[in-house]
Structure 1
Amino acid sequence: MTGTPEKHAENWDLRHADFNDNDFLYDVYSVMRGNGPFARTDKPFLPSNPEGAWVAVGYAECVQILQDWEHFSSNPTPEGAERLTGDLVITLDPPRQQKFRKVLNPYFSPARMKALRPEIGTETDRLIDEFIEDGAGDLAEVAWRQPGIVFFKFLLGMPVDDVPLCVELTDTALNGATEQDRMTAWGGLYRHLHDAVTARLDQPPRDDMIDVLLAAEIDGEKLAFGDVVSNAMLLVQAGLETTASAMSFAYHYLATNPAERDRLIAEPDLLPRAVEEFIRFAGSIHGIPRTVAKDVEVSGCQFAPGESMIVNYASANRDEQQFPDADRCILDRRENRHLGFGAGVHRCLGSNLARLEFQVGLERVLTRMPDFILAPDRQAKFHGNSVTRGFRSVPVVFTASERSR
């Protein structure tokens, strides 16, 4: 470590190398909350806020900001907007944002997700089959591949063979070592999606999200082609990295806490609550930007139009005022209104899918390798900062079993 939690809290640098640690960053957040509900950073969160930003770190303040789109806009500053490609649903405010989401909402309905459960189980079993007979494997492979396969195959309508490339590009775009690396990866992902969407123009329509975006009309006008590509890219990013990172943590936690693993096996009805707790305790997305649109006061602090605000989900989810024993992972936690999926009009569109992928991913591993533990002769590999966090390798050993087919 090159700095103490107190030093980091003075000027939070979301990509600092010290945060490549599974616990230290939360110590920094604790100090930030102790100093007040808002912190300040002069480090850019996105190209849209090069001058730095305020950081909301308290739960109540984060919820208030996320629910108040009239004062805290999802639109970046005019300077930042020039660097974005397309009209992204995540950067829109109502009423256009609501009209845009209305186009996509049916594809993430609870009923549609429930119908996908058998397919998600089958795809998860196929990944487990790759190592189940060996008595050893890497559960990070399941965590990082399952969400992409499910999303590409059953919702987006893109080839499953594209998943590894899109995972790599998304990961570099979010976590690359330099701004140039990150922008190059975003460009590569955009070009890949541009080519995929272009190819669909001459094909018969299918019942998937790319065709939904191509056919969508908002206020009587079709989406510009660039908007279709940009929103497909956004859906890819959201559908790959976030669920994978959180699931990788859950696998590592259970592999290193066999009593908790055994409890989930003995009490399968506990699984939905455990998934919510894993998302609260170790959710991969740590913050989302907002731009102050009007003069506003929150918890005695004044903010002026044009100022940037980062809503720090992860800090809010460790706020003791909302979550008793917030720094403990309590699998049967009952009161758990976490912000892992955000709040307000921009609450995560794919939360139903993410929950289902997560639940099935844990269920199949617990069922098929109930005695898995972390491999004693191999090291788990964690990578993270204040953008996304997760395990890139979770090597485990277990009693070998037969393939599912």
Structure 2
Amino acid sequence: MSRRSAEEHAANWDLRHEDFNDNDFLYDVYSVMRRSAPFAHTDTPFLSATPGGAWVAVRYEDCYRILQDWQHFSSNPTPEASEQLAGDLVITLDPPRQQKFRKVLNPYFSPARMKALRPQIRDETDRLIDGFIEAGSGDLADVAWRQPGIVFFKYVLGMPIEDVPLCVELTDTALNGDTEEARMAAWGGLYQHLHDGITERSAQPPRDDMIDVLLSAEIDGDKLPFGDVVANAMLLVQAGLETTASAMSFAFHYLATKPEERDRLIAEPDILGRAVEELIRFGGSIHGIPRTVAKEVELNGQTFCPGESVIVNYASANRDGSVFTDADQCILDRRENRHLGFGAGVHRCLGSNLARLELQVGLEQVLARLPDFRLDPDRAPHFHGSSVTRGFRSVPVLFSPAERSAA
């Protein structure tokens, strides 16, 4: 079957379309969308149940303004989408309740608390690398997909790391499953698994972890309903696993195909922090966050009416050439980089400090211990596109065998 043109896709964007397993082509479509009009439209929204489809913000400035303007572009879902939610989620709330909720959670994702996790994240990453380092070949997607889950479950959420593979599988299917039935069944399975685990935890002595925080949290003097505790734990699992894993898998693949860039990061470790930000911008693991129009508003010549759905496309915004010089190039030491990889405004990513640290440590350890890693010519990498989160499920590599760590 022949592929549709970029112009055809731009006229009615559907991220789940099979053509978008080609990531470069997707960005060609975004380029057409940005040139054509400030806002695109889609009749096939995957992030909104609005019968009339959804508007899509694709330019940086428009995306930024929408994310900042919660009074007009609310995080509250449409009535149709609300029916699919499992509870009152911090990501679907607006101030002032949203700010009160964030105030409870923010201390557990502070820069200082996350920095203190660096040794544990390094040890967990090394254990994963140890699983294949002596063989001279392995799959870096195993590191990308397992490290964030182990760190989050063991050191933040406070649940057994044995749960990680199942929760990764359920989260992945819930976001990226081939059918709506499969996606909804996975959401239900993830909710039930966490419900059972949190029920068991609620009968145990308190611990200093996120489950304990949610169980004891009070908003306006009232404890969270148990269903909201489970729903927000599920949200944190999804946010803490899928997006970071996708970004890390993309970073590993990019460096495995660009030996000069890999070698530069080894030779210039001081630019690694900027490189992490650039890989987040360039890789684009998140392609759409929904907002609901709360009050009529005009933005960049477009009038939005109450009840309409607007999808904020982070990935397209991060390739906007009016904001980023050479936007379609990955410049590892890029200095001006106000990317939207973690969003903006009151709903800016709660776990951004943890995600950055996991990415940085993951890259540090792979570069230090597998300095000559490159793609295995006999095994093709597997990219999973056609969804709101996009990344590599397999990054097979070859390298010089080395000893396991002493840890």
Question: TM-score if structure 1 supplies the norm length?
Answer: 0.99
Q: Secondary structure at the match of 2:203?
A: coil
Match of 2:268 in 1: 267
Q: How far 1:50 sits from its partner (Å)?
A: 3.8
Alpha-carbon separation, structure 2, partners of 1:51 and 1:44: 9
Match of 1:297 in 2: 298
Alpha-carbon separation, structure 2, partners of 1:273 and 1:240: 22
Q: How far 1:386 sits from its partner (Å)?
A: 4.2
What is the aligned-residue RMSD (CA, Å)? Answer: 0.8
**Is residue 89 of structure 1 aligned with residue 110 of structure 2?**
no
Alpha-carbon separation, structure 2, partners of 1:58 and 1:47: 20
Q: Secondary structure at the match of 1:23?
A: helix
Q: Secondary structure at the match of 2:117?
A: helix
Match of 1:365 in 2: 366
Q: Secondary structure at the match of 2:91?
A: helix
| Amino acid aligned to 1:110 | P
Alpha-carbon separation, structure 1, partners of 2:255 and 2:266: 11
Alpha-carbon separation, structure 1, partners of 2:151 and 2:298: 43
Match of 2:384 in 1: 383
Match of 1:124 in 2: 125
Q: Secondary structure at the match of 1:173?
A: helix
Match of 1:108 in 2: 109
Q: How far 1:76 sits from its partner (Å)?
A: 1.0
Task: Decide whether the 8 Å contact of 2:12 with 2:42 is kept in 1.
Answer: yes
Task: Decide whether the 8 Å contact of 2:175 with 2:387 is kept in 1.
Answer: no
Q: How far 1:45 sits from its partner (Å)?
A: 2.1
Q: Which runs of 5+ in 1 are unaligned?
A: none
**Is residue 76 of structure 1 aligned with residue 77 of structure 2?**
yes
Match of 2:54 in 1: 53
Q: Secondary structure at the match of 2:23?
A: coil
Task: Decide whether the 8 Å contact of 1:156 with 1:208 is kept in 2.
Answer: yes
| Amino acid aligned to 1:391 | F
Match of 1:374 in 2: 375
Q: 1:221-232 to 2 correspondence within 5 Å?
A: 221-232=222-233
Task: Decide whether the 8 Å contact of 2:125 with 2:147 is kept in 1.
Answer: yes
Q: Secondary structure at the match of 1:388?
A: coil
Cα deviation digits, residues 210-238 of structure 1 (max 9, x gap): 01000000000000000000000000000
Aligned length: 405
Match of 1:218 in 2: 219
| Amino acid aligned to 2:273 | P
Q: How far 1:78 sits from its partner (Å)?
A: 2.3
Alpha-carbon separation, structure 2, partners of 1:83 and 1:384: 23
| Amino acid aligned to 2:203 | D
**Is residue 3 of structure 1 aligned with residue 4 of structure 2?**
yes
Q: How far 1:37 sits from its partner (Å)?
A: 1.2
| Amino acid aligned to 1:27 | D
Match of 1:27 in 2: 28
Q: How far 1:377 sits from its partner (Å)?
A: 1.3
Q: How far 1:266 sits from its partner (Å)?
A: 0.4
Q: How far 1:101 sits from its partner (Å)?
A: 0.5
Task: Decide whether the 8 Å contact of 2:256 with 2:375 is kept in 1.
Answer: yes
Alpha-carbon separation, structure 1, partners of 2:275 and 2:101: 32
Match of 1:152 in 2: 153
| Amino acid aligned to 1:183 | M
Match of 1:15 in 2: 16
Alpha-carbon separation, structure 2, partners of 1:19 and 1:95: 38
Alpha-carbon separation, structure 1, partners of 2:140 and 2:33: 34
Q: Secondary structure at the match of 2:290?
A: strand
Alpha-carbon separation, structure 1, partners of 2:185 and 2:48: 14
Q: How far 1:334 sits from its partner (Å)?
A: 0.6
Alpha-carbon separation, structure 2, partners of 1:153 and 1:201: 17
Cα deviation digits, residues 90-118 of structure 1 (max 9, x gap): 00000000000111001100000110000
Alpha-carbon separation, structure 2, partners of 1:69 and 1:377: 50
Task: Decide whether the 8 Å contact of 1:319 with 1:326 is kept in 2.
Answer: yes
Cα deviation digits, residues 344-396 of structure 1 (max 9, x gap): 00000000000000000000000001011111211111111241111111111
Match of 2:175 in 1: 174
Match of 2:322 in 1: 321
Alpha-carbon separation, structure 2, partners of 1:349 and 1:125: 26
Q: Which runs of 5+ in 2 are unaligned?
A: none
Alpha-carbon separation, structure 2, partners of 1:22 and 1:301: 29
Q: How far 1:77 sits from its partner (Å)?
A: 1.7
Task: Decide whether the 8 Å contact of 1:296 with 1:303 is kept in 2.
Answer: yes
Q: How far 1:81 sits from its partner (Å)?
A: 1.6
| Amino acid aligned to 1:186 | W
Alpha-carbon separation, structure 2, partners of 1:334 and 1:37: 27
Q: How far 1:283 sits from its partner (Å)?
A: 2.4
Task: Decide whether the 8 Å contact of 1:43 with 1:50 is kept in 2.
Answer: no
Match of 1:312 in 2: 313
| Amino acid aligned to 2:384 | H
Match of 1:206 in 2: 207
| Amino acid aligned to 2:336 | E
Q: How far 1:316 sits from its partner (Å)?
A: 0.3
Task: Decide whether the 8 Å contact of 2:48 with 2:290 is kept in 1.
Answer: no
**Is residue 400 of structure 1 aligned with residue 379 of structure 2?**
no
Quick one: percent identity of the two aligned structures?
79
Q: Secondary structure at the match of 1:231?
A: helix
Q: 1:215-254 to 2 correspondence within 5 Å?
A: 215-254=216-255
Q: Secondary structure at the match of 2:230?
A: helix
Question: TM-score if structure 2 supplies the norm length?
Answer: 0.98
Moved more, 78-87 or 130-139: 78-87
